[in-house]
Chain A
Amino acid sequence: MFDLFDALTLARAQFAFTVSAHIIFPAFTIGLASYLAVLEGLWLWTRDGRYMQVFAYWKTIFAVVFGMGVVSGIVMSYQFGTNWSVFSDKTGPILGPLMGYEVLSAFFLEAGFLGVMLFGEKRVGEKLHFFATLMVAVGTLFSAFWILSVNSWMQTPAGYGVNEVGQFVPTDWWAAVFNPSFPYRFVHMVLAAYLTTAFVVGGVGAWHLLRDRDNRGARLMFSMAMWMALVVAPLQVLAGDMHGLNTLEHQPAKIAAMEGHWETRQGAPLILFGLPDDEAEETRYALEVPHLGSLILTHEWNGEVRGLKAWPKDERPPSAVVFWSFRVMVALGFAMVGLGLWSAVLRLRGRLYASPWLHAAAVVMAPAGFAAVLAGWVTTEVGRQPWTVYGLLTTAQSSSPLDAAAVGASLLAFILVYFAVFGAGTFYVLRLMARPPGAKVAEDQGPLRAAGITPGPAMAAPGPRRAE
Chain B
Amino acid sequence: MELDLPFIWAALIAFSVLAYVVLDGFDLGIGILFPLIGEGRDRSVAMNSVAPVWDGNETWLVLGGGGLFAVFPLAYATILPALYAPLIAMLIGLIFRGVSFEFRHRTRRGRFLWDWGFAGGSLLAAFAQGITLGALVQGIEVADRAYAGGWWDWLTPFSLLTGVALVFGYALLGATWLVMKTEGRLQRRATDFAWVSAVATLILIAVVSLATPFLNPAFLERWFAWPTMIFSLVVPALVAACAWMLFSGLTDHRPLRPFLAALGLFTLCYAGIGISFYPYIVPPSITIWQAAAPDASLAFLLVGAAVLIPIILLYTGYAYWVFRGKVDPEEGYHQDHP
Contact = CB atoms under 8 A, between A and B. Distances in A.
B330 to A, nearest CB: 11
A114 B99 CA distance: 15
Nearest to B333: A119
How many chain A residues sit at the interface, stated as a range, is 35 or more
Given A78-B65, A103-B59, A103-B62, A96 B297 contact: yes
B94 interface: yes
Interface in A25-82: 63-64, 67-68, 70-75, 77-78, 80-82
A363 interface: no
A397 to B, nearest CB: 12
B92 A431 contact: no
Interface in A431-468: 431-432, 442-445, 467-468
A70 B55 contact: yes
A314 interface: no
Nearest to B57: A111
Interface stretch (B72-80, B163-171, B223-231): B72-80
Interface string B43-73: 0000010011101101101110111111101
Interface stretch (A255-263, A281-289, A353-361, A420-428): A420-428
A239 interface: no
B301 interface: yes
B326 interface: no
Contacts of B67: 100, 103
A114 B55 contact: yes
Contacts of A80: 69, 76
B256 interface: no
Given A74-B58, A111-B58, A432 B66 contact: no
User: Which of A77, A115, A402 is the most central at the interface, judged by chain B CB atoms within 10 Å of its CB?
Assistant: A115
B3 to A, nearest CB: 16
A238 interface: no
A67 B52 contact: no
A75 B91 contact: yes
A105 B309 CA distance: 9
Interface stretch (B104-112, B265-273, B277-285): B104-112
A86 B145 CA distance: 9
A107 interface: yes
A299 interface: no
A93 B6 CA distance: 13
A424 B103 contact: yes
A402 B150 CA distance: 10
Interface string A103-140: 11101111111111011111110000000000000000
A99 B111 CA distance: 36
Contacts of B94: 71, 74
A381 interface: no
B87 interface: yes
Interface in B271-320: 293-294, 296-297, 300-301, 304-305, 308-309, 312, 315-316, 318-319
Given A81-B80, A89-B145, A120 B105 contact: no
Contact of B337 (A74, A94, A445): A445
Contact of B102 (A64, A92, A108, A112): A64
Nearest to B148: A401
A67 B84 contact: no
B236 interface: no
A88 B312 contact: no
Contacts of B109: 444
Contacts of A122: 331
Main secondary structure of the interface of B (DSSP, over half): helix
Nearest to B297: A93
A116 B312 CA distance: 15
A108 B56 contact: yes
A255 B201 CA distance: 60
A142 to B, nearest CB: 11
A262 B63 CA distance: 45
Interface stretch (A164-172, A189-197, A210-218, A290-298): A164-172
Contacts of A428: 102-103, 106-107
Contact of B81 (A73, A74, A85, A417): A85
B55 A169 contact: no
A414 B89 CA distance: 10
Contacts of B332: 119
A132 B77 CA distance: 36
B73 A93 contact: yes
Contact of B95 (A72, A100, A120): A72
A169 B297 CA distance: 8
A99 B69 contact: yes
User: Which of B48, B55, B312 is the most central at the interface, judged by chain A CB atoms within 10 Å of its CB?
Assistant: B55
Given A104-B312, A468-B333, A78 B305 contact: no
A167 B66 contact: no
B76 A74 contact: no
Contact of B312 (A72, A108, A443): A108
Contact of A123 (B48, B151, B323): B323
A367 interface: no
Contacts of B117: 421
B310 to A, nearest CB: 11
B98 interface: yes
A85 B147 contact: yes
A84 to B, nearest CB: 9
A122 B296 CA distance: 46
B14 to A, nearest CB: 15
A264 B308 CA distance: 50
Contacts of B110: 424
A417 B95 contact: yes
B99 A71 contact: yes
Ranked 3 nearest A-B pairs via Cβ: A92-B73, A81-B80, A96-B70
Given A97-B297, A103-B62, A403-B151, 8 more contacts: A67-B103, A75-B91, A85-B146, A100-B63, A108-B59, A414-B92, A428-B103, A428-B106
9 contacts: A73-B62, A100-B71, A105-B304, A115-B52, A115-B322, A118-B52, A119-B51, A119-B332, A119-B333
Interface of B: 48, 51-53, 55-56, 58-59, 61-63, 65-71, 73-74, 76-81, 84-85, 87-88, 91-92, 94-96, 98-99, 101-103, 105-111, 117, 145-147, 151, 293-294, 296-297, 300-301, 304-305, 308-309, 312, 315-316, 318-319, 322-323, 331-333, 335, 337
